[in-house]
Amino acid sequence: MNHRLSFDHTPKELASRHCGTTEVALLWSRRKHRAAVAVLDEATGEYFELPIGERDDPLDLFAYAAVRGLATASTAPAKRAA
């Protein structure tokens, strides 16, 4: 995953998980003092960010996104080699 956020193009990666075509990363913006969870489905190119608020637990959001993303990736049909 190209670790960029909509509000910072050079965030620091705090944690990441990858399974199949889904990658989830917990990212921190040093410039904006904000964090977000970024999720990318490499097969479809679908990408979204979960902004982390002051009262949110970053690890809870990361774990939730990782489990949901990894569950989706692990149930997707495997691609066959050509």
Closest CA to 26 of 8, 52, 45, 7: 52
- The single-letter DSSP state of residue 17 is E
pLDDT number for residue 70: 53
DSSP strands (E only) in 42-80: 46-52
Beta bridge partners of 19: 22
26, two tokens: 């917990």
CA angle 81, 44, 46 (to 5 degrees): 150
Ranges under pLDDT 70 in the chain: 1-2, 69-82
pLDDT of residue 4: 81
- Model confidence pTM above 0.85: no
Q: Furthest-apart CA pair in the chain: how many Å?
A: 48
Domain ranges across the chain:
12-75
